[in-house]
Amino acid sequence: MYIKSLVLDGFKSYGKRIEVNGFDNEFNAITGLNGSGKSNILDAICFVLGITTLGSVRATSLQELVYKSGQAGVKKATVTVTFDNRDRGASPLGYEQYDEIAVTRQVVIDGKNKYLINGTLVPNKRVHDLFCSVQLNVNNPHFLIMQGRITKVLNMKPLEILSMIEEAAGTRMYEEKKEAAMKTIDKKNEKLRQINEILQEEIGPKLRKLKAERELFAEYQRVERELDHCRKVVIAWRYISTEKSSKEAERGVEEVQTKMETIKTTIANGRAEIEEIDVTIQEVTAKNESEKGEHLEILERQLKDLEKKESQLAAEANSNQESIKAERKIIIQLEKNLNEDSKALEEKNQELQQVGGLFQRLREQDETDHAAVTAAQQRLQKITAGLLESDDGENATLEQQLINAKQNAIAAQTEIKQCQMTLVHSKEQLSIKENEVKNKDVDYQRDSTELANRENQLKAIEKEMSRINYDEATCQEKKETKRRLEGEIAQLQGNIDEIESRYPNLTFQYTPPSQNFNKNSVKGPVCTLMSLRAKEAAYALEVAAGGRLYNIVVDNETTSKALLQYGQLRQRATIIPLNKITGRAIDDKVIKYAESLVGKENVKPALTLIDFPEMARPAMTWVYGQTLICKDMHIARKVAFNDKINKKCVTLEGDVVDPAGTLTGGAQARGGSVLEQIDKLKNYQHQLEQKKVEYEGVKRELSLLMQVEEKYRNVKQQFDIKSHEVNMIKQRLHQTTHHQVQEEINSLRQKIQELNEKMENAKKMEKDNSKRATDLEGQLKDSANIRDKQLKNAENQLKVLQKKADNSRKEWEKHEQSSETLNLEIKELDKAIENGREQLVKAEQKLLELEKKSLNYSELLKESQGTVSEIQNKVKAQKAIIHQQNKEIQKLHSKKEDIIKTNSDLELEIKKLDHEINAIQINAVQCKTKVKDLLREYPWISTDKVYFGKSGTMYDFSVNEPDSMTQKMLQLERRRSELSRNVNSRAMSLLSKEEERFEETSKRKRIVETDKKKILETVKHLEDKKKETLEKAWEQVNKDFGSIFSSLLPGAMAKLQKLESGNVLDGLEVKVGFTNIWKESLGELSGGQRSLVALSLILAMLLFKPAPLYILDEVDAALDLSHTQNIGTMLKKHFKHSQFIIVSLKDGMFNNANVLFTTRFVDGMSMISRAEKKKQQGGAH
């Protein structure tokens, strides 16, 4: 079979339909310029032969096989190859009847790839099988030598060269058979595995189970036999026991009846004794009524009247005491006011001293300065008039001054004499008065001593008062604070109650599930555990939480179960156990991305907007962890629907944007956000706690102050009494004659002192004036100079004083207004202090009267209490007598009740005995019935009862103890029950069937193992056969390789040599020699020599098993002209029965061809012309 013609339509460079006829059946050559389409003809033949590796035809897709890839309007490529099939011996299987076989392959852009044989559409596999049957397998082509294959052969390794021999020798058949055999072995192994699984996992366990069930069934039968034995012994014992119980019941009825008669007699005796007790009680009661009658009632009326009077006195005394307290408060307040006014006055006086005093000093200074100026003017006038200034400041002539000095000295002497006379008289009177005082000293001394004692007592009381450290103003202030706090607490509690009533879900009401329940394990609703960081987000957070806002948080699931089961909850509640709840917060990367998307201030995680205790974090994360709070709807939509965020968003107005696509919104709830109200509630509760703490502190302080106040009042009362006593003693002392004489003595002593001082002054005056007179007498001699000097001094002094007076006047006028204002304020304070003192005196007088009245009330109360106590003792004595009689009556009643109770118990006992008789009778009947039932149920009793209890039999109860046999029977019944659940009565028959199945499966296993052994022997035989075939093929190819290489390169040698192992299956290597010398490696050869070696090897392979068609694409590219000529000659010589189609550019090659096809490129398309060597003519087709 060889190619007769070729049709190309739209294939690669052949855009138009080209028909190539006249292929020679031996040697055809194709030549043409580069790019003219030579190799495309070979690609077209390979395309029809069904090549699947498009790289071999220089394409990456079927579309590239179409002319210009379909861009020029040609949308399909079609190639038809017509084969001559007249040689029936070389014809493909199934096509022996056809002289020609036309195979067409067509590819359509964006369409199907189809094959046709002789115009009939066939599947790809049919075409592949057709060509493989004549050794034209294009996907493993030994007949196809394309460009570059020569070079590849030179680089092949020994095993790769061996694979070429295998392909040429056809030993692939052995490999395929071996692979098929190995697949069969795999199937056999799988079958063995399945059989082993059946034996190990199905049949084996069943066999073991059935064997165990057989043993279990044998155990069950043994237990049944033992149970039957035990049951008979137990039933026999039950029969004997029941008969015995029946007889004992009849005896028991008689005994109970006797006991009942005895009890009835006892009851009758008790009733007679009760009648006697009733008579005694009546007598004692009558006597008690007579004692209780008039005497006790009179005493009680007297006591009641006296207690009433005592109460009135106590009320009046308390009222008086309250008046005293009020008056004392008034006095304290007045004293406080006086102190404040006095302090204010003192401050004003100090201010006056600073301001007004300054003014006064300035005024006085002004007056002094003006007076000094006036005096200086007068002095100047006097000196001018001739009146000189003396040492004492007087202005007179020296003569007049001398006369005045002498007169003053005489007057001083006279005064000294008068003082001496008066001093003597006063000393005499002092002596007389001192003697008089000594005579009257005893009474006065006694009163003085008493006054000193009382004053010491008063100081001690005053010291005690200072130690008490009581301040009535502080006490009053604390009371006011207490009243204020009570009002504030009530107000805060009202606010809290109002919010809690408006939002009842804020409080979780339950009953403690157990006595020791820890209330701290219930944390409360979610909304009460959090507080707002940003109040503007309150409504958004409320909407985000939804119903979860009122879920109840507890510590663990145990608490939640206890609350739900035993907490008596008043409403439905969802409980969150902290140890079980899990929430996931939004990832930080997502939050940062959201912030970068819309701005940090426009989006916040809900968790960052609230504060909560750390223990509540799991619950808060569960509620808010996956929610973002956004500024408005636009931002919320942008964040929620972003693929990288995809989280629920809530706006500040409460609109919800869910990534699922739902939007929720509308008007806000009335009354504001619940979370804001909760914040208010927490604030109120915090304030309430603070106020309560403050209130308790004030209450404690006030309690302590009240205790101190009582003590202070008592001490103050003693102080006032002692003060009054001291004042009275002082008044008495001042009214005595002794006191008056003592006053006269003091007056005389003072007078004597003054006279002594006066005498000393007179003596000094006398001495000074005498000295002055002497000096003046000396000055009379120099009077003119003295006058000029004094006149000059007077003028200078007048100027200085005038200037000083002007300055003083200015300063005084500046401070005049401030001084007048302070003076007015001081006058007003003086009036206020005077009025306060008058009011204080009146208040103290009133307090004194009230205290006297209080003493009177105390005496009256003491007297009244004594009388009441006396009457109370009498009433108590009378009641003791009556009580004693009542105790006797009570004893009688108790005895009567004991008898009644005893009779009642005995009557109850009779009823019990009556019931007992009935029960015994019923038991007797039941025992008889049981005996009959046992006889009816177990007929064997009638025959075996004679042996019941007999020794040596199975019913020997001393050997087979009934209790132990009963226990054993129960154990056996339990054991039988356990066995009955698992026992299989069909185990024996099933076991034999399963054993048969086991034997059958084991037999199948042995058959499979035998088959596997035979297949392995076949594989070994195939390997031996393959080795033998390869040895023959190697010998033939080696021989042809050497012959072809020698003809191509005369004088050279070539061979295929085994490796050192000597085994052909390990690979083959090429050896080349020249002049009987073998080269070590092919690297020593030239490029042309190497190409000839490779081509010779390929041709030797082709010659071993010739194919009907060989295709060679520029195999002579690396050879010179002489070698090319040798190749053409060699092909003609060695391949006489095969068709060659060779592409070559060298004359030495295509000149040996019988037919030469030349390609050229015209108008963008390839064209072909044919020339026949014999006729030397060509034509275009």
Instruction: Give the whole-angstrom CA distance, residue 1050 versus residue 1027.
Output: 33
Which residues are CB-neighbours of 249 under 8 A, at least 6 positions away?
A: 920, 921, 923, 924, 927
- For the record, the structure tokens of 366 come out as 């002004």
Report how far apart, in Å, the C-alpha atoms of 503 and of each of 17, 528, 546 are. 95, 12, 15
The candidate with the shortest Cα–Cα distance to 43, out of 69, 79, 74, is 79
Q: In 10 A of CB 34, how many CB atoms?
A: 8
CA angle 569, 572, 577 (to 5 degrees): 80
* Amino acid symbol at 659: P
Instruction: Give the whole-angstrom CA distance, residue 147 versus residue 161.
Output: 19
Does an H or E element contain 851, and which? helix 816-937
Beta bridge partners of 77: 107
Which residues are CB-neighbours of 993 under 8 A, at least 6 positions away?
A: none
Catalogue the E-assigned strands of 976-1125. 1052-1058, 1068-1074, 1077-1078, 1109-1113
Q: Which long-range contacts (CB under 8 A, 24 or more apart) does 474-482 make?
A: 474/705, 475/702, 475/705, 475/706, 475/709, 476/329, 478/698, 478/701, 478/702, 478/705, 479/702, 481/698, 482/695, 482/698, 482/699, 482/702
Chain centre to alpha carbon of residue 875: 75
Instruction: Give the whole-angstrom CA distance, residue 13 versus residue 38.
Output: 10
Mean pLDDT (10-residue bins), the chain, 1181 residues: 90 90 88 87 87 78 85 89 86 85 91 87 86 73 66 74 72 69 82 80 72 72 79 81 79 79 83 81 73 65 75 74 80 81 77 62 69 71 62 60 75 80 78 70 69 82 77 78 84 82 80 87 90 88 89 91 84 87 89 92 92 92 92 90 90 88 70 80 88 88 79 78 77 68 78 84 82 72 67 73 72 63 74 81 82 81 79 74 74 78 80 80 80 81 78 77 81 76 64 73 82 81 78 82 79 84 80 83 76 78 74 74 70 73 78 87 88 54 39
Amino acid 551: pLDDT: 92
Identify whether the C-beta of residue 274 lies closer than 8 Å to the C-beta of residue 896. Answer: yes
Report how far apart, in Å, the C-alpha atoms of 294 and of each of 299, 403, 563, 1111 are. 9, 118, 66, 161
Which residues are CB-neighbours of 563 under 8 A, at least 6 positions away?
A: 510, 513, 522, 552, 554, 569, 575
Q: In 10 A of CB 1109, how many CB atoms?
A: 21
**Maximal CA-CA distance, the chain:** 207
Q: Is 396 helix (H, G, I), strand (E, B) or coil?
A: strand
Identify whether the C-beta of residue 1110 lies closer than 8 Å to the C-beta of residue 1141. Answer: yes
Half-sphere exposure of 111 (CA within 13 A, CB side): 11
Identify whether the C-beta of residue 354 lies closer than 8 Å to the C-beta of residue 818. Answer: no
Q: What does pTM read for this prediction?
A: 0.35
Identify whether the C-beta of residue 630 lies closer than 8 Å to the C-beta of residue 602. Answer: yes
Identify whether the C-beta of residue 983 lies closer than 8 Å to the C-beta of residue 217. Answer: yes
Burial class (CB in 10 A: 0-12, 13-18, 19+), 1033: buried
Q: In 10 A of CB 318, how many CB atoms?
A: 11
Residue reference for tokens 């019913």: 955
CA angle 724, 726, 732 (to 5 degrees): 105
Helices 1087-1104 and 158-169: crossing angle in degrees, nearest 10, is 30
Which residues are CB-neighbours of 682 under 8 A, at least 6 positions away?
A: 528, 531
> Could you give all domains of the chain from N- to C-terminal order, each with its CATH number?
1-143+1109-1180 (3.40.50.300), 505-672 (3.30.70.1620)
Amino acid 262: pLDDT: 84
Which residues are CB-neighbours of 123 under 8 A, at least 6 positions away?
A: 115
* Amino acid symbol at 1076: N
Identify whether the C-beta of residue 745 lies closer than 8 Å to the C-beta of residue 434. Answer: yes
* Amino acid symbol at 399: E
Torsion angles phi and psi, residue 610, rounded to 5: -135, 155
